[in-house]
Structure formats: C-alpha cells, structure tokens
Structure 1
C-alpha cells in the first residue's frame, strides 16, 4: 500500500513549507508541494492540514532492559515496552547497560533489541557498560562492533562519578582507539558513550585523552551534561573544541531543585552562548534508575527514566524557551544520528520512512511511522508488544 500524507508543514528537520509526502513500503518515495497520483493502486491518504511532519525521533540513550537499582535487587528498574517509545514519536533507540553489568547482561540487551526490531522499532546497542575493562559478548570490543549488527559503539562508560571504575587516560584512549578502528572496518562510527557524573573533574579526562593522543574529542559522546551550570559550561567548551554533548530529559524534582538544568533549558542556554546547533542533542535515559544522592553520596531515593520525557522536552524547548522548531528537532533527530553514524534522523527521498505527524500548535503526537509501518494513529498505539 502507498500512503500519501497531504498538506503537512514538512521539517526534514529543516523547514521546507507545505508538502505532500508519499510513502511506499519502508521508504519515502517523494515529497513536493502537490503530488498527483493517477493509479488504481490502493492509496491511503492522510489529511495533514494543521500538522507538521518530522523525522522519527532518535533517542540516543535508553536502558531497554532496565537499569540496576542502587537500592539493591528489589529496585532494579523494569524493561521498556514498544509503546513507551512509539507513543512519543521515538522510532529509533540506542540501548546500553549502565551501573549494573552483572544482573543486566549484553546477551539480554541484544535479545531485547532483536525483539523490538521484530515489532518495527529501529534499535542499536553499545557493548560494554559503566566500567572498564569493558565487558563484551565475543571477547573483544573489536569483534562485538564488527560482527554483531546491533553494536555500534561502547558505553555508557562512567567518568566523574563515584560509581565509575575510575578509568585512566590510557584506558580511555585505548578503548576509543579500538572502537574507532572496529568502526572503520565495519562501516560504523565506534563512538564511546560517556556517562558524566557530578564530580568536579567534569570532562577533564576526555580533554587529556585529546591532548595526549591522536584521538579526537568527537570520538566521545558525553551525556547527562545538564547536571549543573559548571558542567554545562564545561560542555560548551567541549563543543567549541570539536565535540558534541547530550542532555538528559529524564530528571527528578529533587535534582532540579538542587541545580540541575531541565534539558530544554540547557539546550536554549547553549544556543544562546553560541554553540553550533549541530553539536547538541537530547536523550531520555529511559528506564534507567535515577538515584537521588546527597552531597556525601548517600542514597535518598530512586526514580525511573521515561522515554516520554524526550517529546516533552522538545515541546518545552519550543514553547517555554523559545528554541526554534528546527533546532529543537535537530537535537532529537539528525544530530544524534550524525554523532552515532546512523542512517536515520532526516526525511529525504529514498530515505527510511521514519516519520512523526505532530499537531502544529500543541506539538502533540498524532501519527507515527517506523520504517513505513504505521505504529500510532490519532495518538493511539495500533502496534503493541505481545505483553502490553
């Protein structure tokens, strides 16, 4: 079946004005101001008047198998369901392990990824976890990235955090070099996803790697960069030195009250301070455990990350912080795809039909397609996981 979306304001994520968009199979076949079809083939037509059509959202950090609970076994967080993503416009997720790489395993991560892919979602994974040396499936980072299609990089490796393995400059340099070469040999980027904690060392170790080796800062992708103003300012310097940074959209009221920036606010702050808009991304940290620590790292409480926060932060960036729709979209579509080397995050002819139809005024989700498959219609999930 062909699907013809008529009269949407098209963002690729660049704004192109009113367009008709034609989908066939898994691909976008054409878009132009008016598409005329003279055919007896069945065509599903959608009136998109009053809507904007955007690329499917790319969520660059999701704990699809749940996170390890910092309050012991009973606090391990649950796995992600398909509709946790699709109902909120997310058509592509990048999955990783975090603090817990013992009860949470890479075998389970890949199995969960394959299951979500069977349902129609685009899923990629990182090998490794918070700690070094990196745990792998095949015995090496190189073989994981080269021979397991889901693996595109390593992470999320923790720095500036009391829960990290306290990695050295040499360890990070060797890991980045191995991942980069493995990526080159397999057509992937081999990026190192970096979990940045609240310790005042911030990104110092990454700059030390860049200054003492041939590894570019762009080989590292630090996230949680909206923890506080000092880290945010360090992130601005990192971007201006050639890197990209990511803001976490899932947060807690406690953290916001104790200096954390909302992701939408952090995005606006960086744009106002002259950071190249292509260097900024947002991710949900969905289904991660969100531990609340006091200044002495005593655990006060625990919450769970939500994929829905990615869409919410996009809307907040536009409606509350004055970020343009184009720049806010870039942060959740083309930018993370570019950083990670994914053929996603844009709308182009012969490109994958990962699309989101949003109400032009409210930016609420109406329809979502993943690889041309209609997942959400009029805000309701029409494709669900078998246990939802």
Structure 2
C-alpha cells in the first residue's frame, strides 16, 4: 500500500495539493492533502509506505503508444537491427504503459517474439500491449488473420500499416479499406479499440489514401491512428484538416530546437491548436528503439539513428517548463488522450479505480518517483527495480 502526500496533482486536470492512496495496484482514494490519516488505511498484513511529494508536480504515468520494445531496424542489413529494450529504459523515461509493434522488417522479425517480450515486461512491472501486422500488406498475424488476433490474443489491440513511404507495400485504397474494416470489426468483437496505426512517410500522397479509404463508408475517422505526422511540413498541413474532421494525430516527440526526427513538437502542437485541431485529438509517442534511417536522392541509406525512448518525457518536461501551453494540455497528450483513443479505461488518469501509475517531477521537471501499478520503480531519481537480465 502506498500513500503519496502533498502532491501538486494533475490528473491530468489540475487538482491542487492532494493525497493519493494506492492498494493492490489500484488507486483507492484521492483527497485534498491532510484529509487522509495514515491509520485509516491500515489493513492486516499490508505495509503502508508513505511518500511525501513535497508539493512537486504529480501526473499519470506516460502511455507510449509507439515503441519497438523488441527491436526494429535492419534497413542497412543485419548489423543494423536494434536490440530489445530492458525495463529500466522505460522507468527512466517515465513510461508505465507501452504499445509495441514491428517496423520495416515484418519478414525476419516475428510477432510471437514481440508478444512474449510484451508479457515479459508486464511481469517485470509495466503495462504492455502490441499491434499485429507490420509495414506491408498482406499483414503478418499470429492466428492467420487480423480479426482473430484481436479476438483471441489479449495483448493485441490494433494493426500496423505503412502508407506514403518508400518502404511500404504501397497498398491500394481498397486494401487500406479492407485493413481498417478488419481491425474495426476485430475491435468490436473483442471490446478493444481496434485502431489502425498508420506509419506515415514523406511521399506526396500523405494522408490522402486514408481519407479516400473511408469515403462513402460509415467507418469513423478515429479508427485510424496516423503517426509521425510531424515528419515534414506538408504532412503537418494535411494533418490540420484530418484533425478538424475528428481524427487523432500522433506526433513523434522531438524535444529542443534541433530534433532528431522531423519538426519541433512544440511548434507542431502550437500550429495544430491554432488551426482548430482539438487538443484532445493530439497524442505524443517516441518511436522508441526504432531505427531512424536517412536516405539520399538515390534512395541509398546514408545514416541511421535509434529513436530515444525518453523523447516523450523530455518533450513534456520542456513544454511544461516554457509555459507556452496549459499544463493539463501537455500532460493529457501522453496520458488521457492515448488512453481514450486506445480504450484503456484504467490508464491515463489519477482517480479511484485507475491503475496506480504515477510520476513525481521535481521543480526542474526531472523524474523523482515512478510508480507502475502501485509499485515504486524509481525513488529520488534512482531506478529501484530492474529487468530480469539487468
């Protein structure tokens, strides 16, 4: 049992100084500071741990909806395959929930390995899900088709596909329509979100194939989850209309003035909001542990970087520090917004009945504490729980 006192709570809305009680991995109570005497939560056989946040900012744990936690890459050959991530990488990044997926290589990398890695991370301390499919069509699956994967595999909550990218299979409009229909029906039957995560490249077609695929159908635009929309200016401009029509937009987090990938996140978010995209339809993810190759005009790979898992936290910390956006807006993009889109009702908020996923940030927006499902994985900036082989 954990009692977190004197928290400047954003759940993600501002709640002022609060005390939070977590038991058996779930949030039991959230009350104004000082209203909960520790003795009132003394249960036989359960030790009470009291942590004083000292007025520091407390927010829900980060939900990273785009992580290659079992490795990715390979564009430059076998030596360029990124290795699997370990638990401490998530703790240091403030990520308490992660969605894993395959990348460019849906040929030599297996969904079975991804599934087992997700289950291993879950046992070690964080919450995980995966997407079936890969960049291309036909989609690799675990059971033979997308609908069965969603219905029969607990961890599968959506499908991955690449569009408008030279590494994609350049699916036809009919193939995209079939893919989004399959994942939608699979989601309906399984009670899951059934989102189609669409890796967006920089080809001129941009988001047009997605809009054409649902034209004349009753498929909601929210069934799509286009990611990397901050890749280039033209894609950002297209994203405005997509967002204003009710679609979700996922930005690959890029902190600072010289980001490792695409355009500055704060600049992109500011432009989307100014042009009428609802803040509730914007999410941030890391593309963590994914390969980020660069190509020349001939299509030859000229360099390769690995997506940093902590890019979401560093972006959030930077945006909170500049005060350009309301704190609740920034925090919701990595907590309640992805939780709502992915239909994860116990995630993304700090309220009774939700999982005990919390971050405590000091005055300079550095991580002090990380709790996942009520278990402290970081204390005073030091990782206290590590993975099996760390």
TM-score, length of structure 2 as denominator length: 0.94
CA–CA distance in 1 between the matches of 2:132 and 2:194? 10
CA–CA distance in 1 between the matches of 2:388 and 2:182? 38
State the SS of the aligned residue for 1:199.
coil
CA–CA distance in 1 between the matches of 2:110 and 2:257? 30
Query: How far did 1:251 drift?
Result: 8.5
**Cα separation, partners in 2 of 1:237 and 1:66, compared to 1, 3 Å:** same
**Cα separation, partners in 2 of 1:90 and 1:308, compared to 1, 3 Å:** same
Residue in 1 that maps onto 2:197: 193
CA–CA distance in 2 between the matches of 1:112 and 1:168? 32
Residue in 1 that maps onto 2:119: 114
Counterparts in 2 of 1:284-303, with a 5 A limit?
284-303=286-305
Residue in 2 that maps onto 1:228: 232
Counterpart selection for 1:373 from 372, 375, 378: 375
CA–CA distance in 1 between the matches of 2:124 and 2:100? 16
Query: How far did 1:380 drift?
Result: 1.0
Q: Contact between 1:357 and 1:366, CA under 8 Å: does it hold in 2?
A: yes
Q: Deviations 1:135-188 (Å, cap 9, x if unpaired)?
A: 101101111100100000101x11110100001111111111111111111110
State the SS of the aligned residue for 1:195.
strand
Counterparts in 2 of 1:249-260, with a 5 A limit?
249=253, 260=262
CA–CA distance in 2 between the matches of 1:252 and 1:298? 28
Residue in 2 that maps onto 1:83: 88
Query: How far did 1:254 drift?
Result: 8.3
CA–CA distance in 2 between the matches of 1:122 and 1:281? 18
Query: How far did 1:274 drift?
Result: 2.5
Q: Does 1:274 align with 2:273?
A: no
Residue in 2 that maps onto 1:172: 176
Q: How many residues align?
A: 383
State the SS of the aligned residue for 1:212.
coil
Q: Does 1:5 align with 2:4?
A: yes
Residue in 1 that maps onto 2:137: 132
CA–CA distance in 2 between the matches of 1:351 and 1:209? 36
CA–CA distance in 1 between the matches of 2:50 and 2:387? 27
CA–CA distance in 1 between the matches of 2:238 and 2:214? 15
Q: Contact between 2:62 and 2:335, CA under 8 Å: does it hold in 1?
A: yes
Residue in 1 that maps onto 2:70: 65
**Cα separation, partners in 2 of 1:188 and 1:117, compared to 1, 3 Å:** same
Q: Does 1:350 align with 2:359?
A: no
Query: How far did 1:35 drift?
Result: 1.2
CA–CA distance in 1 between the matches of 2:196 and 2:286? 18
Q: Does 1:206 align with 2:206?
A: no
Query: How far did 1:253 drift?
Result: 9.2
**Cα separation, partners in 2 of 1:139 and 1:69, compared to 1, 3 Å:** same
Q: Contact between 1:52 and 1:358, CA under 8 Å: does it hold in 2?
A: yes
Q: Deviations 1:47-80 (Å, cap 9, x if unpaired)?
A: 1113111111000000011112211110111111
CA–CA distance in 2 between the matches of 1:24 and 1:146? 31
Q: Contact between 1:290 and 1:304, CA under 8 Å: does it hold in 2?
A: yes
State the SS of the aligned residue for 1:70.
coil
Query: How far did 1:216 drift?
Result: 1.7
Residue in 1 that maps onto 2:249: 245
CA–CA distance in 2 between the matches of 1:15 and 1:249? 23
Residue in 1 that maps onto 2:329: 327
Q: Does 1:45 align with 2:46?
A: no
- 5+ residue gaps in structure 1? none
- 5+ residue gaps in structure 2? none
